[in-house]
Amino acid sequence: MTPTEIPAASLLDLIAALRARALSPVELVEHTLARIERTHAQINAVVALRDREQVMAEARQAEARIGRGEGRPLEGVPLGVKDLEDVAGMVTSCGSKLYADHVAARDEVHVERLRAAGAIVVGKTNTPEFGLSSITKNLLFGDSRNPWNVQRSPGGSSGGSAAALVGGVLPLVTASDGGGSIRIPASFSGAYGFKPSFGRVPMGPSPAFSTTLRACYGPLTKTVEDAAFVLDQYAGPSPHDPTSLPAVEHRYLDRVRKGAPDGLRLGLSLDMGGMPVESEVKAAVEEGARVLQGLGHTLVPIAGGPPQAGDSWLQTAGFAVAASHGERARGRESELAKWVAELMREGATMSPGAWEQSQRMRAEIRDFCTHVFEQCDLLISPTTPYTAPPARGPFPSEIDGTPCSAGASGQFCMPFNYNWNPAASVRVGMSKAGLPIGMQLAGPMHRDALVLQVSRAFERERPWHPDWPVC
């Protein structure tokens, strides 16, 4: 594999080249480090690097393992870790000046599993402060840029990971999703993003918001098969996370390659009960649904929708962030983004009544999801109601003339965090302005394989790989 072929290659293509010794881990890591340096000013995706000598030593060790026929599944693959997640010996800043010197003692479980599978951590990817926004910018590292158009955001909160992946900088990244933070950057950046069922990939051992916001880790990749392969590496129970699910009796990659079942009932909601959506986005998703219908599946129109969760999500997020970081922030509020400081202040005063109201909203969302998945096997909707916003904001205040709130970017995603469902974003098309459009596929709890299978069926009909805006 030549250097010019590496940036657009899928993860599985790179692994095949490494195993065939058409590419060496040393060459790949050197190429990756050079790409990080070359693209930093343009997209600002990777914001911290591990010690180069240690990284290159691990690359040489990986090369020796492959030479001995002892290569592990991800042997020699460079990995970027979202800067909300711990890597032993590296700073986990959470995109905040409050944690600019906070060195992690050990790896997160999913990072540990990826490294045990042979991946080589090269650095940390950018994230909005505490992962609270779907635009990736912060006071510590600045804003990340969308490789399709550097005046636009790659999304958030896994925006640095998305920009690095889509821009051909890193072949493997981590991502997390507490309100759309895998699927939103997948939609804005044109990647494949998969949020598993809550508990499928364990959280911890560091403190996290998982029990409050139902956040989870999941793949953000170039292809569906890449995502299934990554999920195979880190899914499964862990004693560090009592909410983690038991191991499944299959490999997700095998299930994806087996193909989707015939004759599925696919629910279709273009607005989730009246949410404003750009006409281009709505038209692309409707056409994408027709593609799946053409494969022999039945489209089931879904009327109504769940309550709009954006404001409640932000209030709950403020409560979680205040609980986790309030003491550290005391007297240092000027080091926070103003909107983050305000969110924390509001969260610190969240009343029992407000908490109870959020739980009632969760019950309404659960009722909606139960009703939907009694009627259909999967639900199709837009991932986001508009294409990528400006890199530094603001969010749109209206969509095709209809007013919307700053939380509108996550309105289609959040219900499936609240209700723990697996959900994915596939690239369904491109806007007239040349920006990706995402289509969401959501399924019942524990039907992760089905979401992946239908995603792959769509990908076969409307392939987006290897069309990438390599920087």
Q: Which domains does the chain have, with CATH numbers?
A: 11-238+248-311+349-461 (3.90.1300.10)
Q: For the chain, how are helix, strand and coil distributed in percent, rounded to 5?
A: 40, 15, 45
**pTM for this structure?**
0.97
Model pLDDT, residue 210:
46
Q: E strands within 63-141? A: 78-82, 120-125, 137-138
pLDDT at 206: 76
Specify whether the CB–CB gap between 248 and 241 falls below 8 A.
no
Local confidence pLDDT in tens for the 471 residues of the chain: 999 999 999 999 999 999 999 999 999 999 999 999 999 999 999 999 999 999 999 999 999 999 999 999 999 999 999 999 999 999 999 999 999 999 999 999 999 999 999 999 999 999 999 999 999 999 999 999 999 999 999 999 999 999 999 999 999 999 999 999 999 999 999 999 999 999 999 999 876 544 566 789 999 999 999 999 999 999 999 999 999 999 999 999 999 999 999 999 999 999 999 999 999 999 999 999 999 999 999 999 999 999 988 888 888 899 999 999 999 999 999 999 999 999 999 999 999 999 899 999 999 999 999 999 999 999 999 999 999 999 999 999 999 999 999 889 999 999 999 999 999 999 999 999 999 999 999 999 999 999 999 999 999 999 999 999 988
CA dihedral of residues 43, 44, 49, 53 (deg, nearest 10): 40
Alpha-carbon distance 395 to 408, whole Å?
9
216 has which bridge partners?
177
> In the structure encoding, which two tokens stand for residue 397, read together?
């205040």
Q: What are the CA-CA distances from residue 334 to residues 94, 297, 404 (Å)? A: 16, 54, 29
Q: In this structure, are strands 172-173 and 78-82 parallel, antiparallel, or unpaired?
A: parallel
Distance (Å, whole) CA 436 – CA 259:
26
Phi, psi (5° rounding) for residue 391?
-60, -35
β pairing state of 436-442 and 192-195: unpaired
Q: Is 416 helix (H, G, I), strand (E, B) or coil?
A: helix
Residues forming a β-bridge with 380: 268, 441
Element (H, E) at 211: helix 210-213
pLDDT value of residue 269: 98
* Crossing angle between the packed helical segments 310-329 and 338-348, to the nearest 10 degrees: 90
Alpha-carbon gap, residue 235 to 85, rounded angstroms: 16
Pairing of strands 423-430, 436-442: antiparallel
> What are the residue numbers of the active site?
82, 157, 181
Q: How far apart, in Å, are the Cα atoms of 344 and each of 141, 265, 352, 407?
A: 21, 43, 16, 17
| Burial class for 470, CB neighbours closer than 10 Å (0-12, 13-18, 19+) | middle
Helix (H) or strand (E) holding 354: helix 352-375
